[in-house]
Structure 1
Amino acid sequence: MRVDWKPYAAGLAAEATHPGSRWWEPLHATPRHVFVPRWYTADAGGWTCVDGPADEKAWVEAAFTDATLVTRVGAVHADDVPGGHRVTGRPTSSSTLPGLVVSMLEHARLVPGHRVLDLATGSGYSAALACHLLGDELVTTLDIDPYLTEAAAERLDLVGHRPQVITGDAAGTLPGSYDRIVSMVSVPRIPASWLQALRPGGRLVTTVAGTGLIITAGKTPDGGAVGQVARDRAAFMATRAGHDYPDLLDDVFTTAMTDDGEVGISLFPVLDVMRAWEVWSMLTLAAPGIEHRTGTDDDGSRMTWMLHADGSWPRARTKPGEHTATVHQGGPRRLYDLLDDIRWRWLERGELPVYGAKVTITPDGETTLSRDGWTATF
């Protein structure tokens, strides 16, 4: 490479952490661009592949920005298509923004001698940072996608790191035992296998699917774990069993677009739920699996839809200049009522209890969050 990447890495370190952090040096020394030679950028209606080596300056500028780079859409990895190629679909793999990777590793409280399992290898960048801090022999990284593990192993080798790289299901039996398990993929429920693989006194860090919740928990003598929901927030792609995620709920959306259902008035204006992290997280815990969509009508009205695989749907509209919403609901559950209940609690108490909640995990992975008289179990 003709472009000197090291000044860009220094800029990333300054953006993502601080000189007193133990992660300052790993960020300085790790050539992120090696792990992301191609990636996708979003455009109208799809994604366009960018070939890094074709423009080295743009490559290092993108790689050393504290931003997520999408590397796979549906089943099509950016490595497999030429620059400029367009695809449609949903992202299924990425190189997560380095600041968030560092935040997850910081939550793990790694110290020299800890054996760590990095779940969801992705590009291999998070494993490289862990190797730089702990040493290759103490790092194992796992991903369900054999191409990702193969490519990551090759790129890790290129930068001088040789951790154990394994292809496997993060929810299945894990290879070995660890002092720390750090998941760069979100899970709907803590797998029992994680608790079995944690050593006595070990610590796990993960995010909960469909929420912005980071859970940190230490293993207890009974084989479970106890901890807390972090005050900061993060969202990762969810675990998947195949090459892509299940289809979107377009059939339910068609119904929600055309049926009148049960009509009511909400005293709150339409909310883009996924931008309101506390509300989004609380709603997901109350009704997991909601697909959110938003839009603007021809008259400028703000619209929102909530879709569920059980056939439940609301749609809501707030007209320009108004501060309430007209709500249509159908299916077996009234999902918008759940949303309004959460918003009332938020208004009445000034906060929601989910961030900072106590976390209790049983040996089989059942997790209970509790704070201020509120509980949720999943």
Structure 2
Amino acid sequence: MDWKPHAAALAAKVTHPESAWWGPIRQTPRHVLVERWFTPDAQGWTAFHGPSDEGMWADAAYSDTTLVTRVGPVHADLAALGKPVTGLPTSSSTLPSLVVTMLEHGRLTAGVRLLDLATGSGYSAALACHRLGDGLVTTLDVDPYLTEAAADRLDRIGLHPTVVTADAGSELPGTFDRIVSMVSMPRIPASWLTALAPGGRLVTTITGTGLIITADKTDDGGAAGRVEWDRASFMTTRTSDDYPPGLSGLFTTASTEEGDVSVSPFPVLNVMQAWEVWSMLSLAAPGIEHRTGTGEDGSRMAWMLHPDGSWARARTAPGDRTTTVHQGGPRRLYDVLEAIRWRWLEHGELPVYGARATISPDGTTTFSRGGWTATL
């Protein structure tokens, strides 16, 4: 494949000639790092083999698109072609513009030691190697197949970072000036702060939110920074081959039980499309699983499910603006959402983006802005 014109076009799309990442994107043959990937269809996810159609391979690899490379425990490299796989995506080659955004937040300068968390296909490590040099880049993933495959493919394109198989939440393999995570974390592990050199900087996203956290290490061993104004969402960290099963049993309950009934003045909201609301709700009640749908009569439906057994079902009938809400379990999840939506209307914004982030040495993180605080 004559990949260089494709890589040049990708660089022109996601960055600019004055950027430090212009050269690395042009120099990285992303297609070598992603030979197979999954595409969604009615039956689930079907693996596509790039070398069998170089035109489609080039279009996919050099588009600003996330390519899903693993579903449940099955990697696309090992999936039977033409045989759909069901499950949730568990690894991917993240869209290049977002990779660049995260690396830019890391403020990588000559001589800094980088830990790239969540190796995936190896693309972020490849860009970092072009920027810093192989000897200053360590990349880590929990999945031994991913690290082995990425190391082999990086070697094929002449790049040799240190590749480590380990849990991102456990002890880290060294001391680093920058830690940039391409996987979301429920909270910032104390091990990251231990591994961060004095004056070092960490960049991560928080699970269940669209929040990018940047923070610089402080003298007490913690860190201080902010929630950036731009947004991102990554797959959450995992410690095994797959994520825990979803809340299908609770979904059945939430779809059939009467529960406590109320009427909301607001129409049903697809929470995960409303980034501010979704992020603030996830800080207030972490772990909610959201589902949406359409009723037989065309009504808009939404469900909120929580591992503690709390649930909510909301329905806005065609032509209506109000919503009928059913709730059950130990907490009233929809009431938490309603309070956030009222605050949104009253203030014209929510305080999550731009909030100050203060991280203690044990990883406890407090966000604050305009009198609002939340702690992880």
Which category describes the TM-score, using the shorter chain as reference length?
A: over 0.9
Q: CA separation in 2, counterparts of 1:193 and 1:282?
A: 26
The alignment partner of 1:39 has SS state of strand
Unaligned runs of 5+ in 2: none
Do the aligned partners of 1:108 and 1:180 also contact (CA within 8 Å) in 2? yes
Task: Tell me by how many angstroms 1:148 deviates.
Answer: 0.4
- Separation (CA, whole Å) in 1 of partners of 2:255 and 2:43: 21
AA matched with 1:375: T
Letter in 2 for 1:35: L
Deviation at 1:85, TM superposition (A): 2.6
Which residue of 243, 246, 262 maps to 1:245?
243
Aligned residues: CA RMSD? 0.6
| Structure 2 residue corresponding to 1:353, chosen from 351, 354, 374 | 351
- Matched AA of 2:333: L
Aligned counterparts of 2:152 and 2:80: Cα–Cα separation in 1: 20
Cross-structure match for 2:147: 149
1:279 aligns with 2:277: yes
Aligned to 2:67: 69
**Who is 1:208 aligned against?**
206
C-alpha separation between the residues in 1 aligned to 2:223 and 2:354?
A: 16
Partner of residue 4, structure 2:
6
Partner of 2:23: 25
Paired residue secondary structure (2:244):
coil
SS of the aligned residue for 2:229 comes to coil
Q: Superposition pairs for residues 229-378 of structure 1, below 5 Å?
A: 229-378=227-376
Take 2:97 and 2:250, find their aligned partners in 1: how far apart are those partners?
37
Whole-angstrom CA distance in 2 between matches of 1:27 and 1:375 = 39
- Name the % identity: 71
Distance of 1:366 and 1:26 partners within structure 2: 35
Paired residue secondary structure (2:361): coil
Counterpart of 2:157 in structure 1 is 159
Distance in 2 of aligned mates of 1:345 and 1:229: 19
* 8 A Cα contact 1:263 1:328, kept in partner: yes
CA distance in 1, matches of 2:281, 2:9: 38
- Tell me the SS of whatever aligns to 1:41: strand
Residue 178 (structure 2) aligns with: 180
Q: CA deviation at 1:15?
A: 1.1
Per-residue displacement from partner, 1:236-273 (whole Å, max 9, x unpaired)?
00011110000010111010011000000011000000
Query: Which structure 1 segments of 5+ residues have no match?
Result: none
In structure 2, how many angstroms separate the alpha carbons of the residues matched to 1:83 and 1:62?
A: 17
Q: Which residue of 2 aligns with 1:122?
A: 120
Does the aligned pair in 2 maintain the 1:317–1:327 contact within 8 Å?
Answer: yes
**By how many angstroms is 1:324 displaced?**
0.9
Residue 22 of structure 1 deviates from its aligned partner by 0.4
Q: Distance in 1 between matches of 2:9 and 2:185?
A: 32
The partner residue of 1:133 within 123, 131, 134 is 131
Please list the CA deviations of residues 211-257 of structure 1 after superposition, one character each: whole Å capped at 9, or x if unmatched. Answer: 00000000000000000000000000001111000001011101001
Q: Distance in 1 between matches of 2:299 and 2:239?
A: 39
Within 2, Cα distance between the matches of 1:232 and 1:252?
A: 34
Q: Aligned-pair distance for 1:18?
A: 1.2
Q: CA deviation at 1:133?
A: 0.3
Does the 8 Å CA contact 1:269/1:325 hold for their aligned counterparts?
A: yes
Task: Tell me by how many angstroms 1:55 deviates.
Answer: 0.4
SS in 2 for 1:230: strand
SS for the counterpart of 1:20 is: coil
Structure 1 stretches of at least 4 aligned residues deviating more than 4 Å after TM superposition: none
Amino acid at match of 2:137: V
Deviation string 1:91-121 (CA, Å, 9 cap, x unpaired) is: 0000000000000000000000000000000
Q: How far did residue 209 of structure 1 move?
A: 0.3
TM-score if structure 2 supplies the norm length?
A: 0.99
Give the structure 2 partner of residue 170 of structure 1.
168
Deviation string 1:329-367 (CA, Å, 9 cap, x unpaired) is 000100000001000000011000000000000000000
SS at match of 1:87: coil
Matches for 1:214-229 after TM superposition, within 5 Å:
214-229=212-227
Matched, 1:95 2:119: no
**CA-CA distance at 1:84 after TM superposition:** 2.2
1:13 and 1:340 map into 2 onto residues whose CA distance is 42
Cα distance, 1:125 vs structure 2: 0.6
For the 8 Å contact 2:43–2:84, the answer to whether it is kept is: no
For residues 192-217 of structure 1, the C-alpha deviation after alignment (integer angstroms, 9 at most, x for no partner) is: 00000000000000000000000000
Deviation at 1:83, TM superposition (A): 2.9
Deviation at 1:20, TM superposition (A): 1.1
Distance in 1 between residues matched to 2:128 and 2:182, nearest whole Å: 13
Q: CA deviation at 1:81?
A: 2.0
8 A contact 1:51–1:82 mirrored in 2: no
| 1:237 aligned counterpart, secondary structure | coil
Separation in structure 1 between the aligned mates of residue 87 and residue 310 of structure 2, nearest angstrom: 24
Separation in 2 of the partners of 1:298 and 1:249? 23
Are the counterparts in 1 of residues 226 and 355 from structure 2 also a CA contact under 8 Å? yes
**Displacement of 1:129 after TM fit?**
0.2
SS in 2 for 1:86: coil
Q: Tell me the secondary structure at the aligned position of residue 113 of structure 1.
A: coil
Paired with 1:336 and 1:15, the residues of 2 have a C-alpha distance of: 40
- Residue type of the alignment partner of 1:76: V
Amino acid across the alignment from 1:195: L
Alpha-carbon distance between aligned partners in 1 of 2:306 and 2:43, rounded to the nearest angstrom: 24
